[in-house]
Chains A and B, each alone.
Chain A
Amino acid sequence: MKIIYSELQKLIPALTADKLRLRDDLTLIGHFVSSVEQIENETVFDLEIRQNRGDCLGYYGIARDLSVFYRIPLCLPQSSLPAISSSYRLPINVTAEKQVKRIQAIRISRLQNSASPPWLKKFLNLHQVNSINTLVDLTNYVMFIFGLPNHAFDVSLSTDNLVWELNRHFSQFTTLDGSVLPLPSGILMVNNPTTALSLSFLGGQSCAISHQTTETVIEMAVYDRTKVRQDYRLLKTTTEAAIRLDKDLDPKLIPIAFTFLINQILQYCRGEISSQLFDYYPSPSPDTQISFDPELPSLYAGIDIPVDFATQTLERLGCQLLPNGNKYSIVPPSIRKDINLEEDLIEEVVRFYGYHQIPKNSPIPIANTRDITPKILYLIEKIKDDFTDLGYDEIRSWPLVNQTENPPTAIITQNSINSDFPYLRQSIIQSLRNQHRHYLRLKLVGQKFFEVGKIFWQENSQYIEQYSLGISNPDPKQLSTDIEKVFGDDCPKDYQMSNDSGQYFAQIVLDNITPPQHYSFLTKTNSAIELTSQIITLDANVSFPEKQNPADLIKQYSQKINQNILWQLVVVDEFFDQKTKQFRYTFRASYYNCDDKLAKNTHSQIFGLKI
């Protein structure tokens, strides 16, 4: 959510922190600032609002938090409607009683709507919302200030005979931008008896406000958030209003925000109120009462947080504190729908005290606790060490595969976006085979590698998963020998083995192996390479008058080649030429993450070849 610094100062005029300080402080108290920008001579913060803080999807909620953090006063806007002379009662009907928590509405006549004043256009522009006209822009402005969506109807198009209902009659809905949405039954809407006017989270074209609008009904409402979410997801349409109505909003905030909106409209569009205030609020939510021990924030934080700090913080947040022995009975402000437990109050105290005040050098004391490690995890670590000691490389691969080995027992995902890989693997060899083929594409041949991972299947409606070891080697005899070396007397006799284009694979289900009672793994470190292109292998013959030690030659020539492109250097042949009386050595160099040209140039230069 975007926040303009100067707009925030209208609610907390004593706010003087510089923009970087404010960025860091907002982040520390839970409103992560992802960016701070200077746009149109304004400082604009982009905040990530916590999912349980619907109240902070408006300036008002953020300002409340900052006023507590900086211990500065919050200045609320004008809080009363002008005197209403009209006795007219709006003929509004609510049939969606379970879905509507509260509505306030009023009719305003003799409006003079026009283009918005520059400050309003600028405000909306900084919030990346297009300016339409003053009346519409003010409804959006107030939504950003208080986080409460609201709507204006052109009475000449909609009448004021509005009904909040679940759709039964309409098959489609035309939005303000002219898009036509197919309309399922049961969608929460505002209609008149003949026309679909508005969705709970999106206005409609049939009663759109224009410069010619002179009569309007303004409404502000809070709904059952799960219903709004269900609707906008069904219609695949998200709006600023939907984002807010999806959260737990405070019906008790409506009178403050709605009054502010009406006063803004009267100030900028003129006009006069021509109805009584309509206020539908059939079931006011009861206050939450929480027992609070002011010593607990210290115990939870592990540092001393004065009791006075705890109580003053809660008071500043708008909580009512009633002493009850050594504890307090706390009534949180209705806007804070996220405060329901004593732990929520503890978090409030600790976050305003500051996590940075907690020392960083006191980790949980070392304890001789009971070992609850499943023994198979020891087996897995031992196997990894044993196979790497034998020269095998560990791989990890996708447990989801594109084919299944035994369809009747296969487990298939229902909704994976990556629909080419719907099956959970039934054998780890499937994964090793894929890796081998990929290595071949990269021109990596003769690889020795292994993976430990899960395999899956279903049996009697039960989903089964087992740890499994897969090992691969181009030499089947060596593969068998290595398996025997690792498992010794415990070596399974009937492990699965197969081959594919010169590479051999074996699978051993580890659940069938007796695990060690304990194993201390090694904290090995080794490099790993991300190959971005095929390995390029080139040969070169080099002659010497004397016999050479091939290993010394490899060492000597390796040092001349850039290690960032040298994969491996091998001497594959040595030959004594009778005619020249020279010893000729054939080098085979493999290069990686470079193109042909670089590989050939390097090769020619190092081995003295003609290009």
Chain B
Amino acid sequence: MNTDLKQVREDAIKQIQDAKNSKELEAIRIRLLGRNGLLNQLFAEMRNIAAADRKQFGANLNQLKTILEKLINDQSVSLKTTINPEGKTLKLQTLTSTSLPKLGHLHPITQTERKINALFQNLGFSIYDGPEIETDEFCFQRLNVPSDHPARDMQDTIYIREPDVLLRTHTSSIEARLLSQEKPPFRAAFPGRVYRNEKVTKSNHFIFHQYQGVAVDKDISLKDLIGVFDLLFKNLYGDDVEVRYRCKYYPEVEPGLGLDLRCFNCHGDGCSVCKGAGWIEMGGAGIIHPHLLQFASIDPRQWRGFAFGLGLDRWVMAKFNIKDIRTLLGGNLAYKPNQL
């Protein structure tokens, strides 16, 4: 919320809390929420706000309206049950917050996904989705990983019906489906949950979250891809972020890239977070391997694309100061009731 709305909120809350009787409260309600009230005036002023900020301002205003309505309602109940001046009877007054009603919260993974989604949507990407129960064909074969390929070693698979039906080990399976279902040009990003057959510990989980994206068009290049990543990392970590791109092998891309972020904890000196490397591996990317396009009947001489994949869990853990990966899926994750 911008500064003006914060001030409006604080003033309004004080007025409501200071109301001495129902009549005074009703006057405040009309002043704030009535047809010609303050909030409606602010809604009317939205047209003067820059287009880029308008959506967020509107959302904040709607949220403020909900909060004030709830607060006025609560205060109205409270004023009807004021303490008996004679003091003989106890009056219980339950206040569930310091000054606001109980607030709702989005999961840290959702918040992060939305932040990345917003960036990619601005670049013309759609958001896409695919099944969590996958086939070997879409999870491996169409991604250039045949049954004897060493890349399968990295991805211990949980099978539903071995060897054909499994729980997807990466969001690349959505890429395989996207390529097979859509005609180029297209751009899509897809956050999703993936499964690996690993013991659950403080630092490893058998369910985690990835964020994948694909753009297929004519003349796509590594410059387009690297530019997108720079934008993304700056968006998430600020303009001073330092990113390194290095050659890395993934069966589904050629050329392939590894993406490293200068360690946010030690700034490159080496520490336990980056295991002494000074860099933290954030994901992989590259130009889509021609085999993938051929599998999907897309002519690689006519179309080229880039694809990328990022692990979300460690980002989120670092940002929200979560030490145990298990917290992200149920368990100990909670939100302070009155604090955003």
Which chain A residues have a beta carbon within 8 Å of chain B's beta carbons? Answer: 27-30, 32-35, 50-53, 226, 229, 246-247, 299-303, 338, 341, 343-344, 346-347, 350-351, 355-356, 358-374, 376-377, 381, 384, 387-400, 411-418, 424, 431, 434-435, 438-439, 442, 444, 448, 454, 456, 463, 465, 520-532, 547, 549-552, 554-555, 558, 567-578
Instruction: Identify which of residues 315-339 in chain B touch chain A, using a CB-to-CB cut-off of 8 Å.
Output: 320-324, 327-339
Q: Is the CB of B159 within 8 A of A343?
A: no
Q: Does B99 contact A (CB under 8 A)?
A: yes
Chain A residues whose C-beta falls within 8 Å of the C-beta of B193 in the assembled complex: 399
> Measured between alpha carbons, how far is A360 from B257 in the docked complex, in Å?
14
B101 is contacted by which of A351, A391, A395 (Cβ under 8 Å)? A391
Chain B residues whose C-beta falls within 8 Å of the C-beta of A454 in the assembled complex: 132
Distance (whole angstroms) from the CB of B49 to the closest CB of chain A: 15
Interface readout for B133-172 with A: 1 if CB under 8 Å, 0 if not? Answer: 1000000000000001011011000111110010100000
Instruction: Identify which of residues 205-251 in chain B touch chain A, using a CB-to-CB cut-off of 8 Å.
Output: 206-207, 215, 217, 219-231, 243-249, 251
Q: Does B287 contact A (CB under 8 A)?
A: yes
Contact A527:B335 (CB < 8 A) given known A34-B275, A50-B249, A431-B330? yes
Interface readout for B92-120 with A: 1 if CB under 8 Å, 0 if not? Answer: 11111111011111111111001101100
Distance (whole angstroms) from the CB of B114 to the closest CB of chain A: 5
Q: Is the CB of B105 within 8 A of A364?
A: no
Q: Is the CB of A573 within 8 A of B90?
A: yes
Q: Does B27 contact A (CB under 8 A)?
A: no
B226 is contacted by which of A52, A247, A360, A549 (Cβ under 8 Å)? A360
Q: Is the CB of B219 within 8 A of A396?
A: no
Distance (whole angstroms) from the CB of A92 to the closest CB of chain B: 28
Q: Is the CB of A358 within 8 A of B206?
A: no
Q: Is the CB of A372 within 8 A of B330?
A: no
Contact A356:B198 (CB < 8 A) given known A364-B215, A520-B55, A526-B105? no
Chain B residues whose C-beta falls within 8 Å of the C-beta of A246 in the assembled complex: 150
> Measured between alpha carbons, how far is A573 from B243 in the docked complex, in Å?
55
Contact A528:B335 (CB < 8 A) given known A301-B223, A576-B83? yes
Contact A572:B275 (CB < 8 A) given known A362-B223, A364-B215? no
Q: Which residue of B lies closest to A356 (CB)?
A: B245
Distance (whole angstroms) from the CB of B202 to the closest CB of chain A: 11
B106 is contacted by which of A371, A388, A554 (Cβ under 8 Å)? A388
Q: Does B91 contact A (CB under 8 A)?
A: yes
Nearest first, the 10 A-B pairs at minimum CB distance are: A302-B223, A302-B221, A576-B87, A388-B104, A363-B227, A30-B247, A347-B255, A364-B224, A50-B249, A397-B330
Q: Does B26 contact A (CB under 8 A)?
A: no
Q: Which residue of A lies closest to B104 (CB)?
A: A388
Q: Is the CB of A384 within 8 A of B92?
A: no
Q: Is the CB of A552 within 8 A of B17?
A: yes
> Measured between alpha carbons, how far is A121 from B95 in the docked complex, in Å?
75
Q: Is the CB of A363 within 8 A of B123?
A: yes
Q: Is the CB of B133 within 8 A of A448?
A: no
Distance (whole angstroms) from the CB of B83 to the closest CB of chain A: 6
A51 is contacted by which of B106, B133, B150, B324 (Cβ under 8 Å)? B150
> Measured between alpha carbons, how far is A226 from B87 in the docked complex, in Å?
87
> Measured between alpha carbons, how far is A38 from B117 in the docked complex, in Å?
45
> Measured between alpha carbons, how far is A34 from B114 in the docked complex, in Å?
32
Q: Is the CB of A528 within 8 A of B133?
A: no
A568 is contacted by which of B91, B187, B336 (Cβ under 8 Å)? B336
Q: Is the CB of A396 within 8 A of B109?
A: yes
Chain A residues whose C-beta falls within 8 Å of the C-beta of B251 in the assembled complex: 52
B221 is contacted by which of A35, A52, A299, A558 (Cβ under 8 Å)? A299
Q: Does B23 contact A (CB under 8 A)?
A: no
Chain B residues whose C-beta falls within 8 Å of the C-beta of A393 in the assembled complex: 104-105, 334-335
| Most chain A CB neighbours (cut-off 10 Å) among B199, B220, B334 | B334
Q: Does B40 contact A (CB under 8 A)?
A: no
Q: Does B18 contact A (CB under 8 A)?
A: yes
Q: Does B186 contact A (CB under 8 A)?
A: yes
Q: How large is the interface on B (under 10, 10 to 19, 20 to 34, 35 or more residues)?
A: 35 or more
Distance (whole angstroms) from the CB of A88 to the closest CB of chain B: 39
Q: Does B307 contact A (CB under 8 A)?
A: no
Q: Is the CB of B224 within 8 A of A417?
A: no
Q: Does B66 contact A (CB under 8 A)?
A: yes
Q: Which residue of A lies closest to B227 (CB)?
A: A363
Q: Is the CB of A578 within 8 A of B93?
A: no
Q: Is the CB of A372 within 8 A of B188?
A: yes
Q: Does B2 contact A (CB under 8 A)?
A: no
Q: Is the CB of A300 within 8 A of B221?
A: yes
Q: What are 14 A-B contacts with C-beta separation under 8 Å?
A: A302-B224, A363-B224, A364-B123, A366-B124, A367-B185, A373-B128, A377-B127, A398-B329, A412-B160, A414-B158, A435-B330, A526-B103, A530-B323, A572-B94
Q: Is the CB of B104 within 8 A of A391?
A: yes
Contact A416:B224 (CB < 8 A) given known A300-B287, A398-B329? no
Can you add 12 more A-B contacts, CB < 8 Å, to A528-B322, A531-B334, A576-B87?
A28-B244, A53-B249, A300-B287, A359-B226, A363-B227, A364-B215, A389-B62, A413-B159, A413-B160, A448-B104, A463-B160, A568-B97
Interface readout for B256-297 with A: 1 if CB under 8 Å, 0 if not? Answer: 111000000000000000011100000000010110000000
Q: Is the CB of A29 within 8 A of B223?
A: no
> Measured between alpha carbons, how far is A35 from B276 in the docked complex, in Å?
7
Q: Is the CB of A394 within 8 A of B105?
A: yes
Chain A residues whose C-beta falls within 8 Å of the C-beta of B111 in the assembled complex: 523-526
Q: Which residue of B lies closest to A377 (CB)?
A: B127
A355 is contacted by which of B245, B277, B340 (Cβ under 8 Å)? B245
Chain A residues whose C-beta falls within 8 Å of the C-beta of B109 in the assembled complex: 396
> Measured between alpha carbons, how far is A27 from B258 in the docked complex, in Å?
10
Distance (whole angstroms) from the CB of A334 to the closest CB of chain B: 19
Q: Is the CB of B90 within 8 A of A299?
A: no
> Measured between alpha carbons, how far is A347 from B249 in the docked complex, in Å?
10
Distance (whole angstroms) from the CB of B315 to the closest CB of chain A: 14
Contact A343:B289 (CB < 8 A) given known A389-B66, A396-B330? yes
Q: Which residue of B lies closest to A456 (CB)?
A: B133
Q: Is the CB of A360 within 8 A of B230?
A: yes
> Measured between alpha carbons, how far is A355 from B230 in the docked complex, in Å?
13
> Measured between alpha carbons, how far is A520 from B57 in the docked complex, in Å?
13
Q: Which residue of A lies closest to B66 (CB)?
A: A389
Q: Is the CB of B150 within 8 A of A247?
A: yes
Chain A residues whose C-beta falls within 8 Å of the C-beta of B91 in the assembled complex: 574-575
> Measured between alpha carbons, how far is A363 from B110 in the docked complex, in Å?
25
Q: Is the CB of A551 within 8 A of B87?
A: no
Q: Does B56 contact A (CB under 8 A)?
A: yes
Distance (whole angstroms) from the CB of B326 to the closest CB of chain A: 10
Chain B residues whose C-beta falls within 8 Å of the C-beta of A527 in the assembled complex: 105, 320, 335-336, 339-340
Q: Is the CB of A347 within 8 A of B323?
A: no
Q: Is the CB of B220 within 8 A of A364?
A: yes
Q: Is the CB of A571 within 8 A of B95?
A: yes
Q: Does B200 contact A (CB under 8 A)?
A: yes
| Most chain B CB neighbours (cut-off 10 Å) among A369, A370, A444 | A369
Q: Which residue of B lies closest to A28 (CB)?
A: B246
Distance (whole angstroms) from the CB of A195 to the closest CB of chain B: 32
Q: Does B7 contact A (CB under 8 A)?
A: no
Q: Does B131 contact A (CB under 8 A)?
A: yes
Q: Does B73 contact A (CB under 8 A)?
A: no
Contact A567:B104 (CB < 8 A) given known A358-B245, A530-B321? no
Chain B residues whose C-beta falls within 8 Å of the C-beta of A414 in the assembled complex: 158-162
> Measured between alpha carbons, how far is A499 from B202 in the docked complex, in Å?
31
> Measured between alpha carbons, how far is A530 from B102 in the docked complex, in Å?
19
Q: Is the CB of B123 within 8 A of A418?
A: no
Distance (whole angstroms) from the CB of B340 to the closest CB of chain A: 4
Distance (whole angstroms) from the CB of B33 to the closest CB of chain A: 16
Distance (whole angstroms) from the CB of B260 to the closest CB of chain A: 8
Q: Which residue of A lies closest to B181 (CB)?
A: A372
Q: Is the CB of A27 within 8 A of B249?
A: no
Contact A551:B17 (CB < 8 A) given known A302-B224, A347-B255, A360-B227? yes
Q: Is the CB of B245 within 8 A of A372?
A: no
> Measured between alpha carbons, how far is A343 from B105 in the docked complex, in Å?
46
